[in-house]
Chain A
Amino acid sequence: MILAPFELHRPTRLDEALALASAHAGDFDWLAGGTDMLQNYKNRLNARGHVIALDAIEELGGVGDDRLGAMTRLTTLADDPRVRERWPGLADAAGVVASPLVRNSATLGGNLLVENRCFWFNQTPFWRSTKGSCLKAESDECRVIPQKEICYAAYSGDLAPVLMVLGASIELASPSGRRTVALADFYRGDGIERNVKAADEIVVTVLLPPEAATLRSGYEKLRHRDTLDYPEMGVAAALGVDDGGRIATLRCAHTAVDTVPRLTDYTNEHAGRPVAEIGESIAPTVATDMEASARPSRNTAMPVGYRKKMVRVYLERLLRRLAEERTVQTE
């Protein structure tokens, strides 16, 4: 497959990038790692005439104590000891995205904004043409559930659920200024709407609250193979434990089983209970509740009922693992 034609821009400053976005409003894409977007361009999926590459903009990089530049490569997230030490779940999740080769290019911001995926959407133009295409591409009708209103393409990022349970926010910049949005409020709508980011906005930084570095966190991913594949389902959890061995924070999220990643905060429900109770009663209760909130569609490789069921199995395992971990020590 040959890439759809486009004009490539490579600004070195953020304001330059935003000016380009204004100049080409409605006909441009931001290009981070390109591992997913350029594949979609090859498949002629919503390709634009202008592509603004972000790799030369210094402000978008860097790993700090409470912030991660949007252009941080996934390999860095997976391997950097500072990330592993402060937010182990994030390192876990980054390490299971696609394959090592993809992770060398793919970025944090790109993964958060990865295009929703669907069996009917991520295909060649020829294949799509034999079905009359789909709502997210050229048609006005969805093929997953035939109707004209809602796109059921699955959100398929691995990092979002972990950053959500860690309480992260993202800083967005646009020609009209900057704003910060909690990741929990960022993802909205169906497989086409996806999130609250405006087209001319750009993710600059992911901000992590100080609490995040005190939490035990983890990510578990369902996929056919232990490499390459997008998540068929993924669960993340963060557990805060006080000095008395009692639950201070408990948040869970799932991904790839809906058009958006979904966070549920169980802190109020379970705060103050001994961590030892997680294995006995809390994990099954929470995992069953999260399973009930999963709404997978019949548009990935694995059966929909199986993916839903695995929310409970994987989350229960993850919670038990986190409960048994020793408290994270941070200076």
Chain B
Amino acid sequence: MRGHGAVNSRFAYEVLIDELAEKCGLDPVDFRLANLLPSHTTTLNGFRITSNGTRECIERAVEASGWREKRGRLPEGEGIGIACGFYISGSALRINWNKVPQSTVHLKIDSDGGVTVHSLAAEIGQGSDTMLAQCVAEVLGIPIDWIRVFSKDTDTDPIDLGSYSSRVTFMAGTAARRAAEQVRAELCEAAGRLTGYPTEGFDTRLGNVTFLPRPEVSVPYLDAVVEAIAGKGALIARGCYHDAPPMGGKHKGAAAGLSPSYSFQAYVTQAKVDLDTGFVRPLKVWAAHDCGRALNPLAVEMQIEGCLHMGLGQAMMESFGYNKLSVGNPSLLDYKIPSSMEMPDVDVIIVESEDPEGPFGAKEAGEGPLLPILPSLANAVNDAVGVRTRELPMTPARILKALEAKRRAADRAAKKPKEKTKEPVR
């Protein structure tokens, strides 16, 4: 389950926006651009918005897709649609009501200079271990392979609330960064002692601890480590992400969806509808996602593609039913998810908005990218054949039924004799 709680309502919302634009006689892109909120604002329902790359997402997806040239000019049965989305980078409110930090990272450097990082952020294939190592390497100015991450061990790792709500990069990443910054301060002090230059001028760069005003004054990282641990033992630090700043209104439901920062998306989808069979197939998706600073662009790209695949399943074929009190589709042959054959070309556009509170400006990329694929496909279907989808999945039978209803209505309208003017019944 990706993007839980947001996917269905986002689908309805984005399809309605498309309809509104249509009723206003406006291009849905222009309609959206005219109604965007800026960065650093508060929404009506009390969400505190920090960085917001929606405008850039829309503009780049529109540009890359050739929206302006394609809209209304594609061959019969083909269409193009746009939809946006946004998603939390972790929940601002804790799921456990105690004083344990939401994320904690323990970090240790001993005399060989190798860094040990302990975290309970759950690496489930999404790359959170890599992300933690990256955050530490960035602060300490050392290669990533000098860092070993120990995660998923409840015996030795400090508590982390887990991989949900797209919170790990934002919160565990921040904790790792804070722990590394404490150790960096000790290394700078050591370099100051070794060189006689003031501590404040030092920073860790490319395997050295360097005096920035005069870069030729520099201590190798390992020498700084040896000096720092002399007489007291390993450098040990802890960092945590404790609580987001206070936010949210007082109304009922005000707590839902509060986050220290939000990712934003805009997708343009080009799709083909078979007019005789009702089959819907996405041909290409231009997927623009604002994840703040992309710490690991390859991982961001993979997350976006994975989101698209799962979202297309929900849009095109997945549904979970009951048949007389038993699961109606209990196997993966009965429960259809898209295969590689159904995946469209994906043009991933990473928009970097630099979030002020995320680690090095980063926000989430694991769930938000699912949201816009469903409505952008539905809006493309409408552009292609003039059929609005209010029910998912868009199975061939369902789309064909809608197409037939539309044809019947058109036939009736064509056959209808000219109406005699009648006095309205009062």
Contact = CB atoms under 8 A, between A and B. Distances in A.
Contact of A131 (B326, B331, B334, B342): B326
A227 to B, nearest CB: 5
Interface in B74-101: none
Contact of A224 (B317, B325, B330): B317
Given A301-B334, A302-B397, A306-B397, A225 B342 contact: yes
A301 B330 CA distance: 12
Chain A, interface size category, equals 20 to 34
Contact of A123 (B330, B339, B395): B330
Interface residues of B, number: 23
A131 B324 contact: yes
B contacts with A: majority SS: loop
Contacts of A242: none
Contacts of A310: 277
A228 B330 contact: no
Given A131-B326, A303-B397, A310-B277, A225 B338 contact: yes
A299 to B, nearest CB: 11
A226 B341 contact: yes
Contact of B336 (A127, A222, A225): A225
Contacts of A130: 325-326
B298 interface: no
Contact of B342 (A124, A226, A303): A226
Interface string A217-244: 0000010111111100000000000000
B188 interface: no
Nearest to B317: A224
B341 A227 contact: yes
A123 B323 CA distance: 13
A185 to B, nearest CB: 31
A200 B327 CA distance: 38
Contacts of B325: 130
Nearest to B328: A119
A226 B324 CA distance: 30
A contacts with B: majority SS: loop
Contacts of B216: none
Interface in A276-331: 301-303, 305-306, 309-310, 313-314, 317
Contact of A225 (B326, B331, B339, B395): B339
A119 B329 CA distance: 9
Nearest to B400: A306
Interface in B312-356: 317, 323-327, 329-331, 333-334, 336, 338-342
A229 B335 CA distance: 11
Nearest to B336: A224
Given A130-B325, A225-B341, A302-B397, A124 B330 contact: yes
B30 interface: no
B361 interface: no
Interface string A134-145: 000000000000
B396 interface: yes
Nearest to B330: A127
B283 to A, nearest CB: 14
Contacts of B400: 306, 309
A302 B397 CA distance: 8
Nearest to B335: A301
Contacts of A229: 333, 336
A228 B339 contact: yes
B276 interface: yes
A130 B327 CA distance: 11
A119 B334 contact: yes
A143 to B, nearest CB: 9
A317 B397 CA distance: 18
Contact of A313 (B277, B329, B341): B277
A222 B397 CA distance: 12
Contacts of A226: 339, 341-342
Interface in B1-38: none
Contacts of A123: 330-331
Nearest to A123: B330
Contacts of B330: 123-124, 127
Contacts of A230: 333
A267 B341 CA distance: 37
A158 to B, nearest CB: 16
Nearest to A225: B339
Given A131-B326, A313-B276, A228 B333 contact: yes
27 contacts: A119-B323, A119-B334, A122-B333, A123-B331, A124-B331, A127-B326, A127-B330, A130-B326, A131-B324, A224-B336, A225-B336, A225-B342, A226-B339, A226-B342, A227-B340, A227-B341, A228-B333, A228-B339, A301-B334, A302-B395, A302-B396, A302-B397, A303-B397, A306-B397, A306-B400, A313-B276, A313-B277
Given A122-B333, A224-B317, A225-B336, 18 more contacts: A123-B331, A124-B330, A127-B327, A222-B277, A225-B339, A225-B341, A227-B341, A229-B333, A229-B336, A302-B395, A302-B397, A305-B397, A306-B396, A310-B277, A313-B276, A313-B277, A314-B277, A317-B276
* Nearest 8 interchain pairs by C-beta: A226-B341, A306-B397, A313-B276, A224-B336, A225-B339, A303-B397, A227-B339, A130-B326
